[in-house]
Protein backbone atom coordinates (compact mmCIF):
# COMPACT_ATOMS: atom_id res chain seq x y z
CA UNK A 1 0.00 0.00 0.00
CA UNK A 2 1.27 3.45 -0.92
CA UNK A 3 0.12 6.92 0.07
CA UNK A 4 -1.03 9.28 -2.66
CA UNK A 5 -2.24 12.86 -2.50
CA UNK A 6 -4.60 14.13 -5.20
CA UNK A 7 -5.05 17.89 -5.37
CA UNK A 8 -8.33 18.76 -7.06
CA UNK A 9 -9.37 15.19 -6.32
CA UNK A 10 -13.09 16.01 -6.01
CA UNK A 11 -13.13 17.26 -9.59
CA UNK A 12 -13.92 15.41 -12.80
CA UNK A 13 -10.53 13.80 -13.55
CA UNK A 14 -9.21 13.81 -9.99
CA UNK A 15 -12.16 11.83 -8.63
CA UNK A 16 -11.54 9.09 -11.21
CA UNK A 17 -7.89 8.83 -10.10
CA UNK A 18 -9.07 8.72 -6.46
CA UNK A 19 -11.59 6.00 -7.29
CA UNK A 20 -9.00 3.81 -9.03
CA UNK A 21 -6.34 4.16 -6.32
CA UNK A 22 -8.76 3.57 -3.45
CA UNK A 23 -10.11 0.42 -5.13
CA UNK A 24 -6.50 -0.77 -5.43
CA UNK A 25 -6.22 -0.42 -1.64
CA UNK A 26 -3.89 2.56 -1.48
CA UNK A 27 -4.07 5.32 1.12
CA UNK A 28 -5.58 8.28 -0.73
CA UNK A 29 -5.79 11.87 0.51
CA UNK A 30 -7.83 14.33 -1.52
CA UNK A 31 -7.26 18.07 -1.16
CA UNK A 32 -9.92 20.17 -2.86
CA UNK A 33 -11.35 23.65 -2.27
CA UNK A 34 -14.64 22.55 -3.93
CA UNK A 35 -14.51 25.61 -6.15
CA UNK A 36 -15.32 23.43 -9.15
CA UNK A 37 -15.21 19.96 -7.56
CA UNK A 38 -17.98 18.16 -5.68
CA UNK A 39 -17.65 16.05 -2.55
CA UNK A 40 -20.35 13.74 -3.97
CA UNK A 41 -17.80 12.67 -6.64
CA UNK A 42 -15.99 10.83 -3.82
CA UNK A 43 -19.12 9.25 -2.40
CA UNK A 44 -18.52 5.68 -1.24
CA UNK A 45 -14.75 5.86 -1.74
CA UNK A 46 -12.26 5.00 0.99
CA UNK A 47 -10.38 8.31 0.83
CA UNK A 48 -9.43 11.02 3.30
CA UNK A 49 -11.06 14.23 2.10
CA UNK A 50 -9.66 17.58 3.16
CA UNK A 51 -11.44 20.76 2.12
CA UNK A 52 -8.65 23.26 1.63
CA UNK A 53 -6.56 25.28 -0.75
CA UNK A 54 -3.21 24.49 -2.37
CA UNK A 55 -2.20 28.07 -1.48
CA UNK A 56 -2.24 27.00 2.18
CA UNK A 57 1.43 26.03 2.52
CA UNK A 58 1.17 24.52 6.02
CA UNK A 59 -1.84 22.39 5.09
CA UNK A 60 -0.15 21.12 1.92
CA UNK A 61 2.99 20.15 3.84
CA UNK A 62 0.95 18.35 6.48
CA UNK A 63 -1.06 16.31 3.96
CA UNK A 64 1.92 15.43 1.75
CA UNK A 65 3.97 14.04 4.66
CA UNK A 66 4.91 10.43 3.86
CA UNK A 67 3.38 10.50 0.39
CA UNK A 68 4.80 8.35 -2.43
CA UNK A 69 3.19 10.45 -5.13
CA UNK A 70 1.14 13.59 -5.76
CA UNK A 71 -1.29 13.91 -8.64
CA UNK A 72 -1.59 17.66 -8.99
CA UNK A 73 -4.84 18.65 -10.68
CA UNK A 74 -6.00 21.58 -8.52
CA UNK A 75 -6.13 24.73 -10.63
CA UNK A 76 -8.22 27.63 -11.79
CA UNK A 77 -9.36 25.72 -14.88
CA UNK A 78 -11.64 28.13 -16.73
CA UNK A 79 -9.88 29.93 -19.57
CA UNK A 80 -12.41 32.84 -19.64
CA UNK A 81 -12.12 33.20 -15.85
CA UNK A 82 -8.33 33.24 -16.07
CA UNK A 83 -8.56 36.25 -18.40
CA UNK A 84 -10.82 38.06 -15.92
CA UNK A 85 -8.76 37.19 -12.83
CA UNK A 86 -5.13 37.04 -13.91
CA UNK A 87 -3.60 37.52 -10.46
CA UNK A 88 -5.80 34.85 -8.89
CA UNK A 89 -4.93 32.48 -11.74
CA UNK A 90 -1.21 33.00 -11.02
CA UNK A 91 -1.75 32.61 -7.26
CA UNK A 92 -3.54 29.27 -7.64
CA UNK A 93 -1.89 27.71 -10.67
CA UNK A 94 1.70 28.89 -10.31
CA UNK A 95 2.27 29.70 -6.63
CA UNK A 96 0.04 26.79 -5.59
CA UNK A 97 2.14 24.45 -7.72
CA UNK A 98 5.31 25.74 -6.03
CA UNK A 99 3.73 24.87 -2.65
CA UNK A 100 3.14 21.32 -3.91
CA UNK A 101 6.73 21.01 -5.16
CA UNK A 102 8.17 22.41 -1.91
CA UNK A 103 6.16 19.91 0.13
CA UNK A 104 7.15 17.01 -2.15
CA UNK A 105 10.82 17.99 -1.87
CA UNK A 106 10.67 17.27 1.87
CA UNK A 107 9.52 13.68 1.24
CA UNK A 108 11.99 11.12 -0.12
CA UNK A 109 11.07 9.75 -3.56
CA UNK A 110 7.72 11.55 -3.71
CA UNK A 111 6.87 11.99 -7.39
CA UNK A 112 4.76 14.90 -8.65
CA UNK A 113 2.61 14.39 -11.74
CA UNK A 114 1.18 17.64 -13.11
CA UNK A 115 -2.05 17.80 -15.08
CA UNK A 116 -1.09 20.25 -17.81
CA UNK A 117 -2.85 21.21 -21.02
CA UNK A 118 -2.80 21.22 -24.79
CA UNK A 119 -3.70 24.92 -24.42
CA UNK A 120 0.06 25.46 -24.14
CA UNK A 121 0.34 25.00 -27.91
CA UNK A 122 -1.97 27.95 -28.59
CA UNK A 123 -3.49 28.16 -32.06
CA UNK A 124 -0.36 27.18 -33.97
CA UNK A 125 -1.90 25.55 -37.08
CA UNK A 126 0.83 22.89 -37.37
CA UNK A 127 -0.60 19.39 -36.78
CA UNK A 128 -0.11 17.06 -35.08
CA UNK A 129 1.15 18.78 -31.92
CA UNK A 130 4.45 17.43 -30.66
CA UNK A 131 6.06 18.23 -27.33
CA UNK A 132 9.12 19.79 -29.02
CA UNK A 133 7.02 22.60 -30.54
CA UNK A 134 7.59 26.08 -29.17
CA UNK A 135 4.73 26.80 -26.75
CA UNK A 136 2.42 29.65 -27.72
CA UNK A 137 0.14 30.13 -24.69
CA UNK A 138 -2.62 32.66 -25.36
CA UNK A 139 -4.27 32.95 -21.94
CA UNK A 140 -3.24 33.24 -18.27
CA UNK A 141 -4.49 29.67 -17.79
CA UNK A 142 -2.13 28.35 -20.47
CA UNK A 143 0.78 30.53 -19.28
CA UNK A 144 0.41 29.19 -15.73
CA UNK A 145 0.19 25.58 -16.92
CA UNK A 146 3.42 26.16 -18.83
CA UNK A 147 4.92 27.74 -15.70
CA UNK A 148 4.05 24.54 -13.85
CA UNK A 149 5.87 22.41 -16.40
CA UNK A 150 8.98 24.57 -16.12
CA UNK A 151 8.89 24.51 -12.32
CA UNK A 152 8.53 20.72 -12.26
CA UNK A 153 11.55 20.41 -14.55
CA UNK A 154 13.52 22.90 -12.44
CA UNK A 155 12.81 21.04 -9.18
CA UNK A 156 13.82 17.82 -10.90
CA UNK A 157 17.10 19.29 -12.17
CA UNK A 158 17.98 21.32 -9.07
CA UNK A 159 16.89 19.01 -6.27
CA UNK A 160 16.36 15.61 -7.88
CA UNK A 161 12.59 15.65 -7.26
CA UNK A 162 10.96 13.11 -9.62
CA UNK A 163 8.33 14.83 -11.80
CA UNK A 164 6.34 14.42 -15.01
CA UNK A 165 3.87 16.70 -16.82
CA UNK A 166 0.90 15.49 -18.85
CA UNK A 167 -0.61 17.70 -21.56
CA UNK A 168 -4.22 16.60 -21.81
CA UNK A 169 -6.14 17.14 -24.99
CA UNK A 170 -9.97 16.90 -24.87
CA UNK A 171 -10.85 14.71 -21.90
CA UNK A 172 -14.44 13.50 -21.45
CA UNK A 173 -16.36 10.97 -19.40
CA UNK A 174 -18.65 10.49 -16.39
CA UNK A 175 -18.80 13.23 -13.73
CA UNK A 176 -17.86 16.04 -16.14
CA UNK A 177 -20.12 18.90 -15.09
CA UNK A 178 -22.62 19.77 -17.87
CA UNK A 179 -24.01 22.69 -15.86
CA UNK A 180 -20.78 24.63 -15.50
CA UNK A 181 -20.70 28.01 -17.25
CA UNK A 182 -17.69 26.72 -19.19
CA UNK A 183 -18.84 23.12 -19.68
CA UNK A 184 -17.26 21.01 -22.41
CA UNK A 185 -19.23 19.93 -25.48
CA UNK A 186 -19.57 16.22 -24.68
CA UNK A 187 -21.67 16.39 -21.47
CA UNK A 188 -23.85 19.17 -22.89
CA UNK A 189 -24.48 17.25 -26.13
CA UNK A 190 -25.28 14.05 -24.23
CA UNK A 191 -27.65 15.71 -21.75
CA UNK A 192 -29.52 17.47 -24.54
CA UNK A 193 -29.69 14.33 -26.70
CA UNK A 194 -31.09 12.26 -23.81
CA UNK A 195 -33.84 14.87 -23.41
CA UNK A 196 -34.40 15.31 -27.19
CA UNK A 197 -33.40 18.96 -26.89
CA UNK A 198 -31.59 20.83 -29.70
CA UNK A 199 -27.80 20.47 -29.83
CA UNK A 200 -26.02 23.73 -30.49
CA UNK A 201 -22.79 23.86 -32.51
CA UNK A 202 -20.80 27.05 -32.94
CA UNK A 203 -19.58 27.45 -36.52
CA UNK A 204 -19.96 24.72 -39.16
CA UNK A 205 -19.05 21.84 -36.84
CA UNK A 206 -16.06 20.87 -38.95
CA UNK A 207 -13.64 22.00 -36.25
CA UNK A 208 -11.83 18.97 -34.85
CA UNK A 209 -10.66 17.85 -31.43
CA UNK A 210 -8.53 14.99 -30.16
CA UNK A 211 -10.79 13.37 -27.55
CA UNK A 212 -9.62 10.95 -24.87
CA UNK A 213 -11.64 9.08 -22.25
CA UNK A 214 -11.15 9.94 -18.59
CA UNK A 215 -10.30 6.33 -17.63
CA UNK A 216 -7.43 6.41 -20.11
CA UNK A 217 -6.27 9.66 -18.48
CA UNK A 218 -6.25 7.83 -15.13
CA UNK A 219 -4.09 5.16 -16.76
CA UNK A 220 -1.78 7.89 -18.09
CA UNK A 221 -1.34 9.39 -14.61
CA UNK A 222 -0.49 6.03 -13.06
CA UNK A 223 2.08 5.30 -15.75
CA UNK A 224 3.60 8.78 -15.38
CA UNK A 225 3.88 8.20 -11.64
CA UNK A 226 5.85 5.00 -12.28
CA UNK A 227 8.01 6.18 -15.15
CA UNK A 228 8.76 9.24 -17.25
CA UNK A 229 10.54 12.45 -16.33
CA UNK A 230 9.37 14.84 -19.02
CA UNK A 231 6.35 16.45 -20.72
CA UNK A 232 3.96 14.13 -22.57
CA UNK A 233 0.88 14.52 -24.76
CA UNK A 234 -2.08 12.50 -23.52
CA UNK A 235 -4.50 11.90 -26.40
CA UNK A 236 -5.68 9.30 -28.88
CA UNK A 237 -3.81 10.98 -31.71
CA UNK A 238 -7.03 10.97 -33.72
CA UNK A 239 -9.24 13.94 -34.67
CA UNK A 240 -13.02 13.91 -34.48
CA UNK A 241 -15.15 16.77 -35.78
CA UNK A 242 -17.67 18.40 -33.45
CA UNK A 243 -20.41 17.63 -35.99
CA UNK A 244 -19.43 13.94 -36.10
CA UNK A 245 -19.41 13.89 -32.28
CA UNK A 246 -22.94 15.32 -32.13
CA UNK A 247 -24.21 12.89 -34.78
CA UNK A 248 -22.69 9.90 -32.94
CA UNK A 249 -24.30 10.93 -29.67
CA UNK A 250 -27.70 11.37 -31.36
CA UNK A 251 -27.33 7.93 -32.96
CA UNK A 252 -26.28 6.12 -29.75
CA UNK A 253 -29.08 7.73 -27.70
CA UNK A 254 -31.72 7.24 -30.43
CA UNK A 255 -32.47 10.92 -29.93
CA UNK A 256 -34.75 13.16 -31.97
CA UNK A 257 -32.53 16.17 -31.18
CA UNK A 258 -31.90 18.59 -34.03
CA UNK A 259 -28.49 20.17 -34.55
CA UNK A 260 -28.53 23.96 -34.57
CA UNK A 261 -25.60 25.96 -35.93
CA UNK A 262 -24.72 29.32 -34.42
CA UNK A 263 -22.06 31.85 -35.35
CA UNK A 264 -18.49 30.75 -34.77
CA UNK A 265 -17.05 31.89 -31.43
CA UNK A 266 -14.05 34.18 -31.65
CA UNK A 267 -10.86 32.63 -30.32
CA UNK A 268 -11.97 29.04 -30.93
CA UNK A 269 -9.15 26.88 -32.29
CA UNK A 270 -10.18 25.26 -35.58
CA UNK A 271 -8.26 21.99 -35.39
CA UNK A 272 -6.50 20.05 -32.68
CA UNK A 273 -4.64 16.77 -32.92
CA UNK A 274 -1.80 15.31 -30.87
CA UNK A 275 1.15 13.13 -31.66
CA UNK A 276 1.11 10.86 -28.57
CA UNK A 277 4.04 8.69 -29.68
CA UNK A 278 6.49 10.04 -27.07
CA UNK A 279 4.27 8.82 -24.22
CA UNK A 280 3.32 5.68 -26.15
CA UNK A 281 6.99 4.63 -26.21
CA UNK A 282 6.86 4.57 -22.39
CA UNK A 283 4.07 2.00 -22.67
CA UNK A 284 0.92 4.11 -22.76
CA UNK A 285 -1.85 2.56 -24.83
CA UNK A 286 -5.43 3.85 -24.45
CA UNK A 287 -8.03 1.15 -23.81
CA UNK A 288 -11.07 3.06 -25.05
CA UNK A 289 -12.21 3.93 -28.56
CA UNK A 290 -14.40 7.04 -28.91
CA UNK A 291 -17.45 4.82 -29.53
CA UNK A 292 -16.97 2.66 -26.42
CA UNK A 293 -16.16 5.69 -24.28
CA UNK A 294 -19.26 7.55 -25.48
CA UNK A 295 -21.48 4.57 -24.67
CA UNK A 296 -20.17 4.41 -21.07
CA UNK A 297 -20.47 8.18 -20.68
CA UNK A 298 -24.01 8.27 -22.08
CA UNK A 299 -25.03 5.48 -19.69
CA UNK A 300 -23.74 7.54 -16.74
CA UNK A 301 -25.68 10.68 -17.71
CA UNK A 302 -28.78 8.60 -18.43
CA UNK A 303 -28.64 7.22 -14.87
CA UNK A 304 -28.11 10.75 -13.51
CA UNK A 305 -31.23 11.99 -15.32
CA UNK A 306 -33.25 9.05 -13.98
CA UNK A 307 -32.07 9.85 -10.42
CA UNK A 308 -33.10 13.51 -10.86
CA UNK A 309 -36.62 12.43 -11.88
CA UNK A 310 -37.19 10.32 -8.74
The DSSP symbol for 120 reads G
Is residue 141 part of the annotated active site? The answer reads yes
Element housing 194 (H / E):
helix 185-194
Between the two ends of the chain, the Cα-to-Cα distance in Å is 40
SS3 state at 227: coil
Write down the catalytic residue from 4, 121, 141, 301. Answer: 141
- Tell me the helix, strand and coil percentages in the chain, rounded to 5: 45, 20, 40
Whole-angstrom distance, CA of residue 17 vs CA of residue 275: 24
Cite the beta strand spans of 224-305 per DSSP E. 231-234, 240-241, 259-262
Whole-angstrom distance, CA of residue 271 vs CA of residue 170: 12
Of 135, 140, 54, 33, the C-alpha closest to 89 is: 140
Question: Which backbone phi and psi does 281 adopt, to 5 degrees?
Answer: -70, -20
Cβ(74)–Cβ(32) below 8 Å? yes
Of 79, 66, 61, 64, the C-alpha closest to 118 is: 79
Of 158, 135, 157, 156, the C-alpha closest to 147 is: 135
Residues found in the chain: 310
Catalytic residues: 141
Amino acid sequence: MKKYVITGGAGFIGSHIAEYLSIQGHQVTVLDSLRTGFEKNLSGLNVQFEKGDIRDKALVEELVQGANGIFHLAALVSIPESLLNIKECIDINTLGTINILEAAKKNASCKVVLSSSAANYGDNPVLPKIEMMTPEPMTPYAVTKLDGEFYLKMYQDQWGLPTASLRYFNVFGPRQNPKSAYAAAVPIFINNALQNKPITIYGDGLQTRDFIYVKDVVKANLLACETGTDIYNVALGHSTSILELAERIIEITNSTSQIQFLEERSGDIKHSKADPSKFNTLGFKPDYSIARALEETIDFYHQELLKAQV
